[in-house]
Amino acid sequence: MTDPTYEAQRAVATELVALTLLADGVLASRELEALDRLGIPKLLGVERDALIQAIIDHCRRLLQRPERIDPVRLLDIERFEMMLDRITDPVLREMVCRAMLVLSKADGVICLPEQTLLRDALTRWGIPLEQLRD
Q: Tell me the pLDDT tens digit for each residue of 40-92.
A: 999 888 899 999 998 888 888 777 766 654 434 556 778 888 999 999 999 99
Length reported for the chain? 134
User: CB under 8 Å to 72, separation ≥6 — which residues?
Assistant: 25, 62
CA-based nearest residue to 19, from 91, 85, 99, 88: 99
pLDDT given for residue 72 in this prediction: 43
pLDDT confidence of 14, banded at 50, 70, 90? very high
**Side-chain half-sphere of 73: how many Cα atoms within 13 Å?**
12
Q: Tell me the pLDDT tens digit for each residue of 102-124.
A: 999 998 889 888 899 999 999 99
Stated pTM of the model: 0.85
d(CA 98, CA 78): 22
